[in-house]
Amino acid sequence: MPRRAFFFVLLLLLPFGVLGQEMTVDDALALFPEGEDVAVLMDEAGQTALEAAIVALELALGVTTLFDHTNEDAYAALEIDRENTILVNALSQGYYTWGDIFLKEKDEKKDAFTRGQYWGLKSLRMSEAFAAEELRHGFIDAVHQATDIAALFWTYGNWSRKDEYEPVQAVFRNDPPKLVALIERCLELDDAFMDYAAYRALAAFWGGLPPAPLIEFGQKLPRALSYICPVIDEPGYCTDCSNCPLAEDVDAYFENRLIFAEYYLMEKSLWADAERVLQSILDDPIGERFALYNAYCQLRAAELIGAVREEL
């Protein structure tokens, strides 16, 4: 069945749990080890398992056939016990992973990221303190006091990816400062969360913006480099970083090098070094620890290295 057709079939089946009828909530949560990537492989079986987990988790939270996944207010109206925050965060991560890894069409990906964003916001607002602070002083002030790092991180991840598909609307919504607040709060709470993911996210954020020197939220490559240096072993580029890299095994997670190549070296037209870094990703064994995202990063590296070689 074509991906687009399957996507809309899944939308119909989600409320009924047809795809998830063999998966319990415990089985679903087992795919979401705390602070790690979703425990599936980048293959058809992995996609099926993730989709079944999403179904099981949404059923457990009372999502019905009348639920409007495109309406943020529908998520806000769900009555969910605080003890089930872990399920809500898993859904935010699950939709991000589904959209990022497995879906192909732009509309499908944007829809998945939108759902992930709304589940993340739901998780944040399940905190009475967060909800009260947002009501009194606004979203950014509430973020500065939030403590649920998983909710913060996956809200940021989904929201930032959704904005890639509607950049003009994102500016008019004043999304950039909200996104920065979310991911910088993650860095404050635990910089090692998801294997130092906040550094990668901030590097990609500042390196991926459109060049606009006089605008606050325009591309800032020195800032991008300052965030990626702690998680790459590149002494020639990171001479100003007194504690780089932060860990000996930073090369084990391929996305660190991928972001360095894509959002710094390529943006600076440093083609020879970009090829070197991308080739190093392709040459390394994927391993078991980061099986899903290392496989995906090798796929992306293969795509990018072709474009790089055209510039050499």
Inter-CA distances, 266 with 42, 203, 219, 242, 255, Å = 26, 13, 13, 25, 15
Which whole number is the average pLDDT over 44-58? Answer: 96
Summarize pLDDT for 19-43 with one digit per residue, the tens: 444 799 999 999 999 999 999 999 9
> CA quadruple 276, 217, 186, 73: dihedral positive or negative?
negative
Q: Find the angle CA(49)-CA(52)-CA(58) to the nearest 5 degrees.
A: 140
Which whole number is the average pLDDT over 224-238? Answer: 97
Tokens representing 260 are 């360095």
- Please determine, for residue 176, whether its predicted confidence score (pLDDT) is greater than 70: yes
**pLDDT bucket at 196, cuts 50 / 70 / 90:** very high
Cβ-contact 282, 302 below 8 angstroms: yes
What's the CA gap between 97 and 109, in Å, rounded? Answer: 10
pLDDT of residue 215: 84
**pLDDT bucket at 6, cuts 50 / 70 / 90:** very low
Q: Which amino acid is at 81?
A: D
pLDDT of residue 30: 97
Tell me the three state secondary structure of residue 4.
Answer: helix
What's the CA gap between 69 and 11, in Å, rounded? Answer: 9
- Please determine, for residue 101, whether its predicted confidence score (pLDDT) is greater than 70: yes
Which whole number is the average pLDDT over 180-184? Answer: 98
- Please determine, for residue 178, whether its predicted confidence score (pLDDT) is greater than 90: yes
Q: Which residue has tokens 């589904």?
A: 98
pLDDT of residue 133: 97
For 8-35, b/e burial (b = at least 16 CB within 10 A) is eebeeebbebebbeebebeebbebbeee
pLDDT of residue 212: 80
Which whole number is the average pLDDT over 36-55? Answer: 97
Percentage of the chain with pLDDT > 70? 93
Cβ-contact 103, 109 below 8 angstroms: yes
**pLDDT bucket at 167, cuts 50 / 70 / 90:** very high
- Which range (74-78, 221-225, 238-242) has the least confidence? 238-242
- Please determine, for residue 190, whether its predicted confidence score (pLDDT) is greater than 80: yes
The chain-wide mean pLDDT, for the chain, equals: 93
Percentage of the chain with pLDDT > 90? 88
What's the CA gap between 59 and 49, in Å, rounded? Answer: 15
